[in-house]
Structures are given as C-alpha cells and as structure tokens.
Amino acid sequence: MKEQFKPLFESFTLRSGIHLKNRVVLAPMTNFSSNPDGTVTDDEIKYYIRRSSGVGMVITACTYVTANGKGFPGEFGADTDEMIPSLRRLATAIKEQGAKAVLQIFHGGRACPPELVPNGDIVSASDVAMNQEGAKAPRPLTDSEVESIVKAFGETTRRAIEAGFDGVEIHGANGYLIQQFFSPHTNRRTDRWGGSVEQRLSFPLAVVKEVKKAVALHAKEPFIVGYRFSPEEEETPGITMAETLVLVDALADQELDYLHVSLMDFWSKPRRGVEDTRSRIEIIKERAGDRVPVIGVGSIHTAADAAKALSVVPLVALGRELIVEPDWVEKVEQGRESEIATTLTKDDQQRLVIPDPLWQAIINTPGWFPVVESSSK
C-alpha cells in the first residue's frame, strides 16, 4: 500500500478497551429490507457479510427501541426479547468477517410514518409537524411516556449484549426523536424535558445514562457505547453551532467510546452560532479534545479523501462508498486504490449483493447514488 494511506490501517483502541483493526468504519445506512415482523432477512445478512471484512467496525442500520419508534418500512426491530435471535444472526454475521458489530438504536419520533406505528399514534417532544405536505402533527409525550422510552433504550442495549453485539450507537442525529428533544424547533415543552439548552439536553443525557447502566448491569466483557448527532439545523429557531458545542461538551463528559458526527460533507462550514471559518468537524474535534474520539463521515470517496480526513479525526466512516465498492478497504490495503469503483449500473445488484428494497431505492432516487449506463472504474 502507498505510504500516505498507512494511517488508515493503524489499529485503534476505544475507551472500553475494544480494539479496532483499522480506522475505517461502515456508516449506518437504512436498507428497507427486513421482514414485516421486524426480523432480519437472509438478503440483509448477505449484504452485511459482503461489506464487513475490510472495515474495523460496522455500525448497523438503525433499529427501533419501541413499536411506536419504527421510522422506515423494512426496518428491523429490537423492541422485544423475541427479536434477540434475529439480532444474534446479524451480530454473528458481521463479527465472523472480522469487524466489530455495533447496533444503532433509535426512535423516529415525529418522523415515523403513521402506517408503521400502532394506531398511527405519532409522538414527539411537542406537537410540531414535519415540514412536509400532509404531515401529521405528533402528539407530545407525557412525562411517564418519556421515562418509558428512556428505559426502552436501556432494554434494547441489554438485547444487543445478549445477541452478541460489540456495542450500540445511540442515534441522536438526522432529526429523529433524540434530536427532536434537543432542538428548540421541535421541543417547545415547559416541563423538565424542555426550555433552556441545558434542559433540552435532559432526554439525550437520560438515554446515555440508561444505556450505560444497562452495560454496567449486563455486559460481561467490554462493550462500546457511541453517540451520533447532527451539528446544527436549518430552521429558526433550531440547533445552532453554539448549541451543538454545548451538546458536545455534555457528551464528552459521559465517558463514551466515540462521538459520530453526521454530515453530508465532512468539510462543511457552520451556518451560524460561531465566528469561525473552520469546518464543523474541526471545531467539534477541538471541543471534544482528548475526552472522546470523533468519527467523521460525509462525501469521503477516495483513499486520499479518507487520509485527509484522518488528519482531523481518528476514525472515518464510509457509507455509499461501501455500497458501490464493497472491497474499498481491501483495494487500498493492496495498493489497488485506482481500481475502486465510483459508479454503479442497473446491472450491478447481484454483483454488489444489495437487497431488492434498497436496490429499488438506489435506482429510483435520482442523485442519491452515481448510477451510470455502463460500468467504469
């Protein structure tokens, strides 16, 4: 391999003591391909096997912690103990390829389609509807319901431990329930779960503490706890970069294994809230300091992109790149980075081992993936 790419293949040890063989992570990506009952399908297992041998860690698609948190058709469940055998299949498949397996745990909140949740009862911090035509305003959760969802994150963590996962990632990003509680746009509460930025942190931090409590109670060996968040929101009022840094400070003090910054573009600049011309990821990494490692993601396509990103953060996540090129890591390691595929064609589904629902989404969502007429490297 080329000298400039060697840092990608240095090992990394997380706070929990878990050892990653390299610095490349498979980013969590919804694949819409689970069974209607929430169990994982054979096609999903094959998809993960195909993408788990090169990377140091695999973060799965999100799984719902309660029945009313299901955010996607074909999302797999972790809301009852009946799901443990399904979860075990997924954890085992990933680990057998040599990667650490991390289960992303989630509640969709107001982003849940009504047809996917019991009685169409969409819930959130407050009754602020999604900015979409025909979007239904969610029902504000009661205090006891908030408490029960916090506990559900802990119970799902226990299931992840029993299923053999190496860790969980708390999904506090992309506008889902945890972010809905932190955001002044979606959280208009006047009780203990809302108000000032510190009070809006109450739910995210309660989830973190409940997850860590479950790990302390149930894990017999080291277990990863990470947290993913989105810096800033477009809306006014909305999460500003200044508020993001309050969140980073609070999370960095929780003795987590990592913070995962959800970005479309790794090098994107802040919208508002700080007088700083650097990228968001650089500002976040500086604030996190030595307290917690940061994973960066977002339009990291080439080995050179990844090596440059590693100059800022210790771990980089690849999403679409590992769908288009499952052998991305191996090709860089073998000095064959020039052979990395950057596009796919409509004939590539079987070769790339992609389940039908995800394939249909890729082919029918213009601009999401680089779909071309004929194959090129």
Q: What is the set of active-site residues?
A: 176
Tokens of 14: 């997380």
Q: Which residue has the tokens 């071309």?
A: 372
Contact in structure between 185 and 244 (CB atoms under 8 Å): no
| CA separation for the pair 238, 48 (Å, rounded) | 35
What's the 3-state SS for 57-93?
A: EEEEEEEECCHHHCCCCCCCECCCHHHHHHHHHHHHH
Q: Count the Cβ atoms, other than its own, within 10 Å of residue 164.
A: 16
Residue count (the chain): 377
Contact in structure between 123 and 185 (CB atoms under 8 Å): no
Q: Count the Cβ atoms, other than its own, within 10 Å of residue 196.
A: 9
Query: What one-letter code names the amino acid at 270?
Result: P
